[in-house]
Chains A and B, each alone.
Chain A
Amino acid sequence: MRNSLIIIKKQVKDTLKNKTVLIQFILFPIMALIMENAIRIDSMPELFFTKLFSIMYIGMAPLTSVASIISEEKEKNTLRVLSMANVKPWQYLFGVGFYVWIICMIGAGVMAAVIKKEDIPFYLLVMAVGFAVSILAGACIGIFAGNQMTATSIVMPVMLVFAFSPMLAMFNENIEKVARFAYTQQLKVFMDGMSFSGIKTDNILILAVNAMLMAVLFFIAFRKKGLE
C-alpha cells in the first residue's frame, strides 16, 4: 500500500510534466463545459454534450493514459528498477490504476457541474464504473505492448470503437445493434435514463461481460508478459 502511494506521488509529478497525458485528462471536461454552455439548439436532448463527452472521456482518457504509462515504464526499464527495489507488480498496477481513476473522477466532477444536483451521484457512479473498466483495458494493452509505439497502435482502434460507437449509434440503428455490446454504449444508456429504475438486466449483463472480459485479458497479458 505504501509503495502504491509512492507510485501515485511519482505519477502526479510526472503527469504535470507530460503534456500528452495531461491534455487527455483536461480536454474532455473543458470541452463538455464549453459546448454545453455555448451551444443551444431547441430540439437537442438535455445535457447532450455533457453525456456525449462523458462517454468519450471514459473511452479515451483512462485507456490511453494507463496504456502509455505502463508501456513507457516497460520501454524505459524503470519498471524493472522498481521491481528490483522490491515494489510488487500489484502495488505498481494498483498505484497507476488508482491514480488515473482519481484524476478521471476529478474530470467527471468538473463535467457534473451542469448536471442536476440529485442526478450527480448516479452520474458519478456510472463514470466510476466506466473508468474502472477502461483502466483494466488500458492496463491489458500497456502490459501486452511493452513499448509505447506498439501500445499506441493497439490503443487507437480499441479507443475508437469504445469512445465513438455510442455517438455513431445515435445516428444509425445498425451501428446501435452492434455498439450495444460495448460497455460504453451501455453506460450511455444508463446516463440517458439517469436513474437506477431505467437499468435492465441485459444492460447489467453486457456491462458485466465486458468487465469480465477485460479482467480475463488482463490476467492473460500479465501471466504471459508480466511487468518485465
Chain B
Amino acid sequence: MIRCNDVFKSFSEKTVLSGISFNIGDGEIFGLLGPSGAGKTTLIRILTGQLSFDKGYVTVFDKEVSSLLGEDKKNIGIMMDQFGVYERLSCIDNLKVFADIYKAPYDRIKSTLEEVGLKDAQNLPAVKLSKGMRARLALARVFMHSPKLIFLDEPTSGLDPQTMRQIHKIILEKKKEGCTVFLTTHNMEEAYKLCDRVALLNEGVIVENDTPERICRKYNHQKTIKLHLSSGEDVVIPHESNSSEMIGRLLSDGSIETIHSSEPTLETVFLELTGRMLEEDE
C-alpha cells in the first residue's frame, strides 16, 4: 500500500527526516510513535503529497506519490493535527461541502455522523462543538467518501479518555472494513492497543519498526517477575531458574495473590532507545 524508501527532508538547514524507510501492507494499522517534534506531521505531509522531499522515493497505491491522480486521491482520507472545520456551518453542512467535492451520496453524511456518534449534534454549528466532537466531525469527513487508505495525525491528542476509546473503536471498525490506516501518536498505550505494527520515530530516524509485542519482548533485558502477596507486599524477583524454588514455596503457602511478568512497555523501550520520554516537553 505504501512504500517509503530512504526519505530525507530538511527545512532550511534543519534536517527533520533522515533516511526514513518502511512498507505498509494492505489492511494494516501502522502507528508512527514519537515525541512532539520528531517529524511525524512532516512525514504524513510527505506521504500524502502535501510536501515535497529532498531525497528517496515514496509510492502510494504503487504509484509515485507526486503523480497521484484525482481518482487516487479519492481513495485517501486525511485528518491532520488541525481539524479544519467550518465553524459557522452545522455538522451536516460541513460534510456536505466534502460530499459535493468527492461526489459522495448525501445519505452517507447521516450514516457517517451516526458512525462517529454525532447524530444528536448534526445540526449544531461546529463552533458549539467540544474538542472531542470536533475531532469526531473531522473523522467523519475522513470516512465519508469511504477511502481505502486513511492518514490520521494524532487523532486522539488532547482528548478525554472516553472520546479516545470511541475513536479507537471507530478506527478498528475501519480496519475490519478493509481500510489501511497510518496514524501518528505520542501515546504508547494507544499504539500498543491499536496498531499491527509500530515504528518508533526519534529526531527524524526510525529506531525500531515491528509489532508492538515483539518490540516489547525484544527489549525485555532485565526479565523479572512481580509477585503481589496476600500480605499486601510487592516482591520483584529475577526471571530465572533459581527463583522457582521461592515461587514454589510461596505458592504452597498460599501467600501469593497475583503473579506478573514485567515486560517493558513501548514507553520504556522508547526511553531505552533514545534516552527521552515520549510525552516529555520540548
Q: In the complex the two chains form, is B125's CB within 8 Å of A85's CB? A: no
Residues in A whose Cβ lies below 8 Å from that of B37: none
Q: In the complex the two chains form, is A78's CB within 8 Å of B101's CB? A: no
Binds A, one of B79-87, B241-249, B259-267: B79-87
A74 to B27, alpha carbons, bound, how many Å?
34
Contact (A78, B102) CB under 8 Å given A6-B97, A13-B93, A84-B48: no
- Please tell me the number of chain B residues within 8 Å of chain A, measured between CB atoms: 23
Q: Is B236 an interface residue (CB 8 A)?
A: no
Residues in B whose Cβ lies below 8 Å from that of A81: 80, 84, 141
Contact with A along B21-64 (1 / 0, CB 8 A): 00000000000000000000000000010100000000000000
Q: In the complex the two chains form, is A10's CB within 8 Å of B82's CB? A: no
Select A9's contact among B70, B88, B100, beta carbons within 8 Å.
B100
Contact with B along A38-82 (1 / 0, CB 8 A): 000000000000000000000000000000000000001111111
A168 to B73, alpha carbons, bound, how many Å?
53
Contact with A along B152-167 (1 / 0, CB 8 A): 0000000000000000
Q: In the complex the two chains form, is A77's CB within 8 Å of B83's CB? A: yes
A85 to B103, alpha carbons, bound, how many Å?
11
Contact (A76, B88) CB under 8 Å given A13-B93, A17-B125, A85-B101: no
Q: In the complex the two chains form, is A85's CB within 8 Å of B102's CB? A: yes
Q: In the complex the two chains form, is B70's CB within 8 Å of A77's CB? A: no
Select A17's contact among B80, B82, B88, B101, beta carbons within 8 Å.
B88
Which residue of chain B has its CB nearest to the CB of A84? B78
Residues in B whose Cβ lies below 8 Å from that of A84: 48, 50, 78, 80
Residues of B within 8 A of A (CB): 48, 50, 70, 73-74, 78, 80, 82-89, 93, 97-98, 100-102, 125, 141
A selection of 13 A-B contacts at a CB cut-off of 8 Å is A6-B101, A9-B100, A10-B93, A10-B97, A13-B93, A14-B86, A17-B88, A78-B84, A78-B85, A78-B86, A84-B78, A85-B73, A86-B73
- Sort A-B residue pairs by CB-CB distance and give the 5 closest, nearest first: A77-B84, A81-B84, A77-B82, A17-B88, A6-B100
Q: Please name 8 further chain A to chain B contacts, defined as beta carbons within 8 Å, in addition to the given A14-B88, A77-B82, A84-B78, sorted by A numbering.
A: A6-B100, A13-B93, A17-B88, A76-B85, A80-B80, A81-B141, A85-B73, A86-B73
